[in-house]
Structure 1
Amino acid sequence: MIITTSTAGRCPTCGAATVSVDDAEPWCAGCEWNLDAYDRQRRAPEFGWAWVDRWSHRLGYRLTRRQFTHLAGRPLGTGGRSAAAMVTAGVSVLLIGAVLALAVTGVWLIVAFPFPNVAVLLGVALLGLAVALRPRFGRLDPELEVLSADRAPELFALVDEVAAAIGTPRPQVIGVNGDLNAYATAVGLRRRRVLCLGLPWWGALSPPERVALLGHELGHFGNGDPRRMVLTQPAFTMLGSAADLVRPVDTVAGGGIIEMIGEALGKAFQWMLSRLLFGVHLVLVAVALRDSQRAEYLADEMSARVAGIDAATSLLDTALGHESVALAVRREMRAGHGPGRWRSAVAESRAAAGGRLSLLRQLSVREESSLFSSHPPSGLRRRMLAERPRHDPLVVLTEERAARIDAELAKEYEQIRRAVAWSG
């Protein structure tokens, strides 16, 4: 990562020299002038039209900063439900009611009229539409390697300790995979709680950072995240499914001019209806994700509570250098080394970053702000934690205990290491 300090330009607000990281649009590190700039060269398009993407970025940036200002310095777990959460829940209830109405009407038309009858055909169509639009509650990832308490007793005990310390339910399923990531989710109508630890990520973290990671992920079981609640799932899926359902598709060509005109008119109507439904879907998701970002801040607070501020902020800084971490871990895997060496390589990468971290944190506020991001920017998350009161960690993971956990997962570590090595 190359950092350059501009000598030709000065901040028009405070007069300080502007800075840039890796050819990003320059900004002022002091007053953050131009940090909200839309950097088209470094940002993947969201809509495909430059002016819409620029407007979307600016709006997402403003909403993100406004939420941070609103939450900073106040208890994140109090204050009741946000307006975004209430809108999401309300719309979800309406959508569920609409699907139930379609199903009930379809069944009534089928049983109320003798067959054959046009009403029966309409009833079958309405019932099929209700089935197609039903809420989806997710399934267990087939690639998840599910662990048992007998197989990994130390890991399960640590998870239980962290859950008890932050006052959240324990996961009902604990598993691992080969991703440089971790997640907590709920699947099925009964919302079975699932914790997944990506072993390249877990193995690359120091013991305090592992506790912070568990605190954050388990915090999602008690922070009201709408992505994991059964009542709010329809807001994220149903209108998008409806848009896909009515999207026009090409059919077999043939027929006369009348049929061609009718088909063109039908496709035009389907296209407009599909775009309308998808537009409403995007608006609803953007609103719902405001509350998801609040939930991420709360999960970070739970992480800091159980592991300490230093461990929680260190975890965020490690995540900020995700690409460097991935390169370091992959290099050590291909060299045949285990998680102990992964951690050393990541620590060396962090040390090499040095003073660049403060600029990368600022740049993340620009590059990670979006209407459609479920997470606040890493820089704001770290800043939020840095302003919290300091306290001793509730759970301490020693090097010896971390080594015992790694020994329990030795088989899974080796499988993932070989998969990476074989991938070239």
Structure 2
Amino acid sequence: MQENTDAACPQCRATLRASDPRFSVWCPACDWNLDPIGGEGSWRSRSRAVARHERLFHRVLANGTQAAPSNAALYGAIVLATAVNLVTLALTGAGVWLLAAAGTWPERILGVLALLIAVLLRPRLGRMPGNVLAPDTAPTLYEVADRISAGLGTRPVDFIAVDGRFRSAYKVVGIRRRRVLVLGLPLWESLTPDERLALLGYELAHARVGARLSGRWIQAALDALVSWADVFRPGTDEQRERHAAVLSARRWAGRSGVGMANFGEALLRPLQELLVHTVHLLHRLLSRLGERSGEQAEYGADEAAARLASARSVEGLLEALLLRETAVFALRRAARSEGDVWEELRDHMNSVPGTERARRLRLSELRGDAAGTGFPPTYLRIQFVRKLSFAELPVPVTSAESRSIDAELEPTRAVFAAWLRESI
């Protein structure tokens, strides 16, 4: 239904408010047409997960973000991660012992093999993202980020990077553990100056609430499980077809060993499949436990952002996250036009009516939609910041600084706009 006049809901007969024809009409009284694509099935199966998130939400409200979280998921994740990481440590120790204490070549070969497997299973330290802004090309942005870090009592970031996704991130990468703030340009351009300040405060707060030793230990185990799956995974269909062609050629050439090769392949493939499925289950379980153990920290980051900016700015940021699909659609449409891509994106996002924002919020409430894995549902985060009373701006960004940051990002805007036009 895409009319621009008041009508009656076909399900409960309530009056439907006139809406922007670009967006779906829905009924707030009975949730008719709330999700035109997925229907009611898109949220019916999420009731148990949403209930768990609501228990955490009420616990945070009652005890505060600094209270000790429920440790069941964290302890379970640490135990499972320890079991996985011990395999890597055992392989390393066995390889060193075989090389140092053994006296025969077969034992030394086994030692080298064990060390090679341990290297393959090593934790990944992350890579520096692309499109890093040098401090001398974006001095105002770095200055504001340093001011926010000082307000949070954390170390400043080493680098600020920009990418083309509707998101943001805080990462610690490399052997030297460089702290990197990643700003998604579509999200950044969709926000007001105060909401951008809230975004910076939210991400930089992760240096205080999210970078724990347990998190790195769990991530090391997750990286190892990914490597296990790569080792155990059977070859692709193309590789198997190529292998079958080789065996067929050998059969026609009258070479021996073909039957034994077929027998060995038939015997090992089910074992490979079993091992891969087991590793995937372990990875899924560890990921879920790790995500649950870190969900309370997201409320802490929201609270820190509200202290630095304002609760209303954080609420606006979270509401913008609910409009990700709208922003991606608007960005693609803007890329097909001849105008300013980012200006058209901002105009579109500013014109989203209240009915559509309310629909997205209601859908988040029923489905438990979140900004990503390991995050509480966005609607609960919005309810949380609405209960905060921080209204001042202890770390203000002046209008001159906002204009300066916009000028510093202008070359990056042009690069990404050109890339978007080429990719459409």
TM-score (norm 2): 0.81
Per the alignment, residue 22 of structure 2 pairs with none
Q: Which moved more, 1:63-72 or 1:170-179?
A: 63-72
Task: Please tell me whether residue 128 in structure 1 is matched to residue 116 in structure 2.
Answer: yes
Q: Post-superposition shift, 1:90?
A: 4.1
Q: Deviations over 1:176-227 (max 9, x none)?
A: 2333322111112342110112223222311001001101111111112569
Identify unmatched segments of 5+ residues in structure 1: 11-15, 28-33, 39-56
Q: Secondary structure at the match of 1:193?
A: strand
Q: Name the % identity.
A: 30
Per the alignment, residue 336 of structure 1 pairs with 339
Contact 1:159 1:170 in 2 (8 A): yes
Contact 1:206 1:343 in 2 (8 A): no
| Distance (whole Å) between structure 2 residues aligned to residue 96 and residue 339 of structure 1 | 46
| Distance (whole Å) between structure 2 residues aligned to residue 104 and residue 298 of structure 1 | 40
Q: Secondary structure at the match of 2:183?
A: strand
Letter in 1 for 2:32: V
- The counterpart of 1:294, out of the listed 285, 293, 296, is 296
Per the alignment, residue 23 of structure 2 pairs with none
Q: Secondary structure at the match of 2:222?
A: helix
Q: Deviations over 1:347-384 (max 9, x none)?
A: 122xx2x13423321212344559x8222222121112
Letter in 1 for 2:374: S
Q: Secondary structure at the match of 1:20?
A: coil
Q: Secondary structure at the match of 2:135?
A: coil
Q: Secondary structure at the match of 2:128?
A: coil
Per the alignment, residue 42 of structure 1 pairs with none
Q: Post-superposition shift, 1:122?
A: 2.7
Per the alignment, residue 399 of structure 2 pairs with 399
Q: Post-superposition shift, 1:64?
A: 2.6
Output the aligned Cα RMSD: 3.1
Q: Post-superposition shift, 1:83?
A: 3.2
Q: Post-superposition shift, 1:340?
A: 5.5
Identify unmatched segments of 5+ residues in structure 2: 15-28, 248-256
Per the alignment, residue 81 of structure 2 pairs with 92
- The counterpart of 2:270, out of the listed 268, 285, 289, is 268
User: Counterparts in 2 of 1:90-239, with a 5 A limit?
Assistant: 90-117=79-106, 119-141=107-129, 144-224=130-210, 229-239=215-225
- The counterpart of 1:242, out of the listed 228, 231, 237, is 228
| Distance (whole Å) between structure 1 residues aligned to residue 351 and residue 213 of structure 2 | 36
Letter in 1 for 2:76: V
| Distance (whole Å) between structure 1 residues aligned to residue 75 and residue 214 of structure 2 | 15
Letter in 2 for 1:363: L
Mark the CA change 1:398 to 1:347 in structure 2 (over 3 Å): closer, same or farther. farther
| Distance (whole Å) between structure 2 residues aligned to residue 96 and residue 328 of structure 1 | 45
Per the alignment, residue 19 of structure 2 pairs with none
Contact 1:209 1:312 in 2 (8 A): yes
Letter in 2 for 1:252: H
Contact 2:162 2:183 in 1 (8 A): yes
Contact 1:225 1:295 in 2 (8 A): no
Q: Secondary structure at the match of 1:231?
A: helix
Contact 1:99 1:133 in 2 (8 A): yes
Contact 2:122 2:223 in 1 (8 A): no
| Distance (whole Å) between structure 2 residues aligned to residue 215 and residue 285 of structure 1 | 26
| Distance (whole Å) between structure 2 residues aligned to residue 61 and residue 261 of structure 1 | 49
Per the alignment, residue 350 of structure 2 pairs with 347
Mark the CA change 1:81 to 1:289 in structure 2 (over 3 Å): closer, same or farther. same
| Distance (whole Å) between structure 1 residues aligned to residue 206 and residue 9 of structure 2 | 40
Per the alignment, residue 47 of structure 1 pairs with none
Mark the CA change 1:127 to 1:18 in structure 2 (over 3 Å): closer, same or farther. same
Mark the CA change 1:396 to 1:126 in structure 2 (over 3 Å): closer, same or farther. same
Q: Secondary structure at the match of 1:72?
A: helix
Per the alignment, residue 44 of structure 2 pairs with 37
Q: Deviations over 1:43-102 (max 9, x none)?
A: xxxxxxxxxxxxxx5553343333223323431123267333343344434433331221
Q: Secondary structure at the match of 1:186?
A: strand
| Distance (whole Å) between structure 2 residues aligned to residue 82 and residue 160 of structure 1 | 33
